[in-house]
Amino acid sequence: MKTNTILTGDRPTGKLHIGHYLGSLKNRVKLQNEGKYNMFIMIADMQALTDNARNPEKIRNSLIQVALDYLSVGIDPAKTNILVQSQIPALNELTMYYLDLVNVSRLERNPTVKSEIKQKGFGQSIPAGFLTYPVSQAADITAFKADTVPVGDDQEPMLEQTREIVRTFNNTYNAEVLVEPEGVFPPKGQGRLPGTDGNAKMSKSLGNGIYLSDPADVVTKKIMSMYTDPDHVHVEDPGKIEGNTVFTYLDAFAEDKAKVAELKEQYQAGGLGDVKVKRYLNDVMQGLLEPIRARRAEYEKDIPGVYQILKDGSDKANEIANQTLAEVRAAIGVDYFKDLK
C-alpha cells in the first residue's frame, strides 16, 4: 500500500524551462516512477490569478502549456493525479476556515510574499488574495493530507505556515483531522540554474531561458550565444570555469562527468575554444530535449484529450478534498444537517 502522499504544484504563468526541469520536474518523474507515493500535481491557477486577475487569458493559455510540459517530461496520468486548483471548490471553503486561524501580521511577515510584493511593485495596493495565498496553499496541501511536499527553497515559509495552521486547527477543534506536511527541498548548493546570459535567475522577463517547448534550432541559437568567461578572448587563453554558464549547464545536465572534467581542464589550461564547449553542450541539451519535444508533439495533436486528463485528475481530487472538507466541517461543528433524513 502507498502510505505517503506527495502534493506539489506550479503557478501557470508561462511555459516551463530547463531550470524547472532540473529543479523539480525531473525529481517528480523519479518519485512517480518509484511507485511508493500517492502523487498529486496541482496547476495552481487560482494562485496565479492572485496577481493576474486582470489578465486571465495569460493564465488560461499557460494552463495548457504547463499541462503539456508535465506530460512531455514523463508525468504519467496513470500514475500521477494532475489537477487544476480552480476546479476543486473544497479548497476555497478550507481556505475560509483557515483564514480565521491566522492573523494579518503573521501573513505580512512571510519573507517570500514580502519580496514578491516588492518585486511586483504593488505599493499600497496589495491584492488581499495575494497576501493570503499562503493560507490557500495550506488548503491545497491539507486537502489531500499530503505529508511530503517537494518544492523550491522559496516555498519554505509556505510549508511553515501550513504546519502552523495544521497544529492550530487540530488543537483548536480538538481533532486529528489535518496532517502536518514535511517540505522536501533541493540539496544545498544545487540551487537554481542561471539564465543563458549568466544572470542568477532564468525568467521570461529577462529573455534568458531555454524552454522545454523550444524547437531544436532555437535551443542551438540560445546555446551558441550563451555567456561564458568574458576574459577568454583567444582560444589559447586560459579560461575560467567559475561563473561560466556553459560549464554550469554541463555540470547540471551532462551525464559523462569524466568528459566534462576533461573539458574543464583543457579550458583552464588554454587551447579550448568556447564554440567547441558550446557545441558539446548543444549535443547534451538536444539529447535531453528531443524525446521531450517528441512526446509533446504527440499530446499537441489532441488538446481536448489533455483537458480530459486534467478533468479526470480534478474529478478524483474532488472526491478526496470533499472528504477532508467533511471532516473539517465536523470538527468545527458546522455539520448542522447531518442527522436530517
The answer to the question of residue 15 lying near ligand TRP (CB under 6 A) is no
Tell which phi-psi region holds residue 18, choosing left (phi > 0), alpha (psi between -120 and 50) or beta. alpha
Specify the residue, 101 or 151, whose C-beta has the smaller distance to ligand TRP. 151
The answer to the question of residue 23 lying near ligand TRP (CB under 6 A) is no
Could you say which residues in the range 235-274 bind ligand TRP, by CB under 6 A? none
Rg (CA), the chain: 22
Could you say which residues in the range 30-49 bind ligand TRP, by CB under 6 A? 42, 44, 47
The residue whose Cβ lies closest to ligand TRP is 44
CB of 13 to ligand TRP, least distance (A): 9
Phi, psi of 238 (to 5 degrees): -65, 140
Among 50, 137, 142, 148, binds ligand TRP (CB under 6 A): 137
The answer to the question of residue 69 lying near ligand TRP (CB under 6 A) is no
Among 82, 149, 177, 292, binds ligand TRP (CB under 6 A): 149
The answer to the question of residue 288 lying near ligand TRP (CB under 6 A) is no
Among 140, 214, 229, 274, binds ligand TRP (CB under 6 A): 140
CB of 8 to ligand TRP, least distance (A): 5
Specify the residue, 156 or 197, whose C-beta has the smaller distance to ligand TRP. 156
- Grid cell listed for 244: 561560466
